[in-house]
Amino acid sequence: MADRPGTDGGCAPAARSGVPGARERATAAARSVAEAVRRLVPASGLGTAVPALGLGTVLLAGGCMAGTGERADPALARSLPVIAPVLPGASAVPVPPAAAAGAGRRAREKGRGWPAPLPGMPGAAEPLSLVVPRAGVNAPITWTGSTSEGVLEAPPLWQADLAGWDRTGPMPGEPGPAVIVGHLDTRTGPAVFARLPRLVRGDTVAVIRRDGSVVVFRVTATERAPKTDFPVSRVYRARPYPTIRLVTCGGRYDPARHSYEENLIVYGDFAAWYRLADFPG
């Protein structure tokens, strides 16, 4: 992605207003996602403010960045197939036969493939790293949240290689939408989600977790939405199974406002989960 001289990070926020989303991960101190969404205010003055889902530059208050993870082992990242697994009985996203066959052949030639999956659903565990093979992403996951003004914060610009998990929602692997945000670019060049627009249906999105598991999601759709009309009801829609949403900036860049006009959202459904130790390397 081309550099954007003079930007404040290339990712101005969109408003997370209007419709309540999925329930917040249940903890003794947590509030519901619906309550959090109702508090959020629409974006105004995109060039001067950092409204919700805008991937801005504000740091988390109260030391919430303590949840920063780590990159996945490069051997693991290389071993993950581009195409997500399709398990018997799963409501799989259709993958063109030629693409599936080609991916399977290349995986066998490189000694890659999916190991035996674990049974059941993953449940809660702290996310450490995000791997998206087609987009070349191998990023540490840090915790993000919302300010009192309803701003969903992204990782700081000087750490633009981080992906930020919205800790007010489910962990990746819990039922419901786990939302992960990241910058598209900065003043100096591409950031963690620079190649996210390359993703297509059926692609792999993997989250490595502290419990030694790898939760894999299958891309079901991508969407570009104006920042003035962010699709809250779709992004935060409650599901009885794990889902994931990757959010960054997109569309035309407005140099006067130092902001992109759209958000790019990647939607994914749970595909399978594995023991980290069962992958090569």
**CATH, residue 77:** 2.40.260.10
> What local confidence, expressed as pLDDT, does residue 117 receive?
96
Question: Where are the extended beta strands (E) located within the chain?
Answer: 127-132, 137-144, 163-166, 176-181, 185-186, 189-190, 204-209, 213-226, 242-254, 259-275
Whether residue 6 is contained in a domain is answered as no
**18 pLDDT more than 70:** no
| pLDDT of 35 above 50 | no
Q: Is residue 122 part of a domain?
A: yes
Q: Are 69 and 128 in contact (CB under 8 A)?
A: yes
What are the DSSP calls for 227-266, one per residue? GGG--HHHHT---SSEEEEEEEEEEEEETTTTEEEEEEEE
Distance (Å, whole) CA 281 – CA 278:
9
Mean pLDDT confidence for 33-43: 30
Based on the structure, what is the number of domains in the chain?
1
Range of the domain at 246: 33-278
- 64 in a structural domain: yes
> What is the largest distance, in Å, between two alpha-carbon atoms of the chain?
52
Determine, yes or no, domain membership for 16. Answer: no
pLDDT band at 97 (very low <50, low <70, confident <90, very high): low
pTM above 0.85, yes or no: no
Q: Residues 194-209: what's their mean pLDDT?
A: 97
Inside any domain, residue 182: yes
Q: What percent of the chain has pLDDT over 90?
A: 49
Instruction: Give domain status of residue 25, yes or no.
Output: no
